[in-house]
């Protein structure tokens, strides 16, 4: 088996005396495609549509960022989306950033296997510190929820400031709801994970690991913050249970 072969997610399938906080370490990197496919409803559609959105909003000679790129699925979707856009892809460069060295190592492997011709650079860096500029499209898919709430507006303001007029941000997040709807959405998400083969033990241990790491917010909180950051138009373009994707245009 190659070091880069994708493996099934069995991280939480045996009882753990003390469940450690969730981190994007080498163990998670090895199983990430299986984990996210079985945990995040609508993930494949979110990735594919990120490419289509990138194709519409890419501007010649600009940078496109995939912040918190993990294994580079959205990076690749953006690459092929802007290639299909013809002249808008001229001189574009895609930069994928993640603070997990294990994720970046695997992402570079997958990028190298791809036959796309738009320049791609994968960088191991903290997205809160990395300088952004000349951006036509930025993707921030299922990343903001792992950043401390008090740092979220600062990051989005930096992205907006780096975005060219008419450029766009794709933001995907797990959200929370009013009490009554929250209960139903939680149950539907649990049903989704069970339907994808996760046991109640795996679900419970994963929840313990991620409880204080992933902090969701309401849809309205996201929309208001995106506008406060400097985006003039914000729409929710996709939702599957408690996972949504926004398009914010400057």
Binding-site residues from annotation for S-adenosyl-L-methionine: 43, 68-70, 98-99, 126-127, 141, 207
State the CB neighbour count (10 A cutoff) for residue 159. Answer: 25
Using alpha carbons only, give the angle 109, 111, 115 rounded to the nearest 5 degrees. 125
Residue 168 bridge partners (DSSP):
137, 249
Helix axis angle for 73-83 and 101-113, nearest 10°, is: 30
Which regions of 198-242 does DSSP assign to beta strands (E)? 217-218, 233-240
- The token duo for 25 is 């370490």
Any residues with CB less than 8 A from the CB of 59 and at least 6 apart, and which? 88, 92, 136, 164, 166, 167
| Binding-site residues | 43, 68-70, 98-99, 126-127, 141, 207
Q: What angle do CA 81, 86, 92 make, to 5 degrees?
A: 70
Q: Nearest-5° angle of CA 71, CA 248, CA 37?
A: 30
- Indicate the SS3 state at residue 194: helix
Q: Is 150 helix (H, G, I), strand (E, B) or coil?
A: helix
């Amino acid at each position: 088996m190659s070091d880069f072969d994708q493996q099934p997610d069995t991280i939480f399938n045996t009882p753990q005396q003390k469940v450690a906080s969730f981190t994007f370490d080498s163990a998670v990197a090895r199983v990430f495609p299986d984990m996210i496919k079985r945990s995040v409803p609508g993930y494949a559609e979110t990735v594919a549509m990120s490419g289509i959105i990138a194709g519409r909003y890419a501007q010649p000679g600009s940078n496109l960022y995939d912040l918190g790129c993990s294994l580079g699925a959205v990076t690749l979707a953006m690459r092929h989306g802007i290639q299909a856009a013809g002249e808008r892809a001229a001189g574009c460069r895609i930069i994928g950033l993640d603070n997990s060295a294990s994720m970046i190592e695997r992402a570079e492997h997958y990028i190298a296997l791809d036959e796309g011709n738009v320049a791609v650079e994968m960088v191991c860096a903290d997205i809160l510190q990395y300088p952004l500029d000349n951006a036509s499209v930025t993707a921030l898919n299922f990343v903001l929820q792992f950043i401390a709430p008090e740092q979220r507006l600062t990051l989005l303001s930096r992205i907006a400031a780096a975005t060219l007029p008419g450029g766009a941000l794709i933001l995907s997040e797990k959200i929370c709801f009013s009490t009554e709807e929250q209960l139903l959405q939680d149950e539907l998400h649990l049903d989704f994970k069970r339907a994808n083969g996760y046991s109640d033990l795996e679900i419970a241990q994963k929840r313990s690991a991620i409880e204080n790491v992933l902090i969701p917010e309401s849809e309205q909180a996201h929309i208001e913050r995106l506008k406060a950051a400097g985006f003039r138009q914000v729409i929710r373009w996709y939702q599957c249970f408690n996972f949504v994707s926004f398009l914010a245009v400057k």
